[in-house]
Amino acid sequence: MKVKRQIKQGWFERLYLPAIAGGLGITFRNMFHPSVVQSYPEQRWPTPPGFRGMPRLVMGDDGIEKCVACKLCEVVCPPLAITIVIGEFREQDMRERVPEVFDIDMGRCINCGYCEEACPKEAIVMSDLYEVAGYTREELIFDKAKLLSDYEQYKRPALERERQAGDGDHGRA
């Protein structure tokens, strides 16, 4: 196919000087604008509400993870990133059931947030963390200890508000 180019430059355009002046104008204007560049990683943007970072496990107020290994997140997880092995809790009066193994393969996780939606105990949440990197694939499989460890550091403000507003158990019969 033949393309017809219809670019007609007048003498003014062919001078080029006005265009150079216009470009330099933008350059100089920006020199005096306030800077939008941040010194990552020392400085970070606050993440917007509803941001879905890495999933994290939540520690209950009694110092035991809230997760009861119901496996709903495991079954709902589209890339099959979650592996759970059910365990029975030793001091049974406090809680009957905890996950013996809770692994999330961050190499697989697509941050879709379905696990958070499915969880009946609000035991898994999407955190603000978004830096996932490792030198091997094995390094990217996060175990229970790791998923629980830095939760306090990265807990979401929205969840905190919800927790303050009332207990998480929605009143279904």
Partner 1 sequence: MADKVTMIYNGREVETEAGKPLIQLSTELGDEIPHFCYHPGIGVDGNCRMCLVEMKGAPKLVPGCTLTAAAGMEITTNSEKVHKARQGVLEFILINHPLDCPICDKGGECPLQETTRRHGPAHSRMADPKNTAVKHRVIGEHIIFDAERCILCSRCVRYQRDIVGREELLLRMRGDHVSVDIFENQPLTSGFTGNLADICPVGALTTREFRFQARPWEMRAVASSCGGCSLQCALTSWWKGPGLQRVTADVDHAVNAWWLCDRGRFDYPQESGLAESLVRRQGVQVPVSAEEAALRARELLAGAKQPLLIAGSRATNEELAAVGALSRSLGAAARPYPTLATELDFLAALTRSGLELDGLAGLGRFRRVLVLGEDPELAHPLLALRLLGGAAGEAPGAVTLVQAGAWAPLGDGNRNWQRIAVAPAAWLAAEGVRYVAEPGSLLVAVSSALVAAGTIDARSLATLAARAGETRLLWLLEGMNRRGVLAAAAAAPGEDPLRLLEGGEADLVYAFGLDPAADFADPARWEQGLDLAGGALIVQSGGLAAARATAAVVLARRAPIDLVGTLTNTWGLERRLQSWTPVAGRRPLDTEWFGPLLGAPAGSSLEVAGRHES
CA separation for the pair 6, 126 (Å, rounded): 53
Q: Is 172 an interacting residue with respect to partner 1 (CB under 8 A)?
A: yes
Question: What's 69's DSSP letter?
Answer: -
Q: Is 168 an interacting residue with respect to partner 1 (CB under 8 A)?
A: no
Number of residues engaging partner 1 in binding (CB under 8 A):
18
Sign of the C-alpha dihedral, residues 155, 41, 112, 71?
negative
Give the nearest distance from C-beta 56 to partner 1 in angstroms.
Answer: 19
CA separation for the pair 79, 118 (Å, rounded): 15
Using the structure block, give the residue that is written with the tokens 């969880």.
119
Using the structure block, give the residue that is written with the tokens 């920006």.
30
Residues 68-97 that bind partner 1 (CB under 8 A): 68-72, 75, 86-88, 92, 96-97
**Closer residue to partner 1 in complex, CB, 21/173:** 173
Binder of partner 1 out of 52, 108, 121, 155 (CB under 8 A): 121
Q: Among 102, 156, 91, which Cα is nearest to 129's?
A: 156
Which amino acid, one-letter code, is at 62? Answer: D
Q: Binding marks (x or -) toward partner 1, 21..60, rule CB under 8 A?
A: ----------------------------------------
- Stretch of residues binding partner 1 (CB under 8 A), selected from 33-41, 54-62, 125-133, 164-172: 164-172
Cα angle 145, 148, 151; round to 5: 145
Q: Could you list the residues that contact partner 1 (CB under 8 A)?
A: 68-72, 75, 86-88, 92, 96-97, 120-121, 169, 171-173
